[in-house]
Amino acid sequence: MSRDLKWVFSDENQRVAGTTVALILQNYSPSKESISLHNTSLSIERPYRGQEYLMFDKVTHTLDREAFEYLLNLEVKKAARYLYFFSLMVLQRDKASKDFSPAEEEILIRKIAAIVKEEVRTTDIIGRIGNDKFFLILDQADFQSSFKVGGRIKDRIEHYVFKTDGHTVGMTTSIGIACFPTHASDIVTLRHKADLALNMAIEGGGSKVCLPAD
């Protein structure tokens, strides 16, 4: 059976909603019953699919794009109202020296997601935005502490020995970080600044963590 998550937000409980969701996600296990969202006026907007809306990526068991963007929008509103920092991290796997089969790609992406989960807190939120691209909300983290987290994640992935079909493979990642409200005070600019920082890391040769230039 699935659990229904029906949220009615007031000013009081909206403040803790992000943390509550993060704790639910941290305890989510694909081997257990799946968590779904039923359609309410404040649920994530999605196409109708039998009244149930799965919010997890099936490969990495992180949030899918729509669910993550909903929570990112909520986080911006909470941070603006209650005056605290948080950071948006964008992580992308660097190009590999060889091509992988779809099955090998899944193994590699699943392991990268697992490493990221190990390096962040239970109150941080992770979403898979593209094939090899992840977004993270680092709860109440300024850009200095977020930069340290990014470096830790980058180093873990760079030194991890990935295995696919009996072969060992090396992986690196590029990471961009933007902090609210240091680098941006609205969601559009925050995402833009994080993407710019990611592009700086990629154009700098990859395997780097970058902050916005301005």
pLDDT tens per residue, range 126-162: 999 998 999 999 999 999 999 999 999 999 999 999 9
What pLDDT band is residue 36 in, cutting at 50, 70 and 90? very low
Tokens matching residue 212? 């916005």
The domain spanning residue 113 has which CATH number? 3.30.70.270
Mean pLDDT of the chain: 81
Provide, rounded to the nearest whole percent, the portion of the chain with pLDDT above 90: 64
Q: Which residue type does 166 have?
A: G
Contact 87, 179 (CB under 8 A): yes
How many structural domains is the chain composed of? 1
pLDDT for residue 157? 97
For 28-172, strand residue ranges (E) read 35-38, 52-54, 86-93, 125-130, 133-138, 162-164, 167-169
Q: Which domain holds residue 161?
A: 3-210
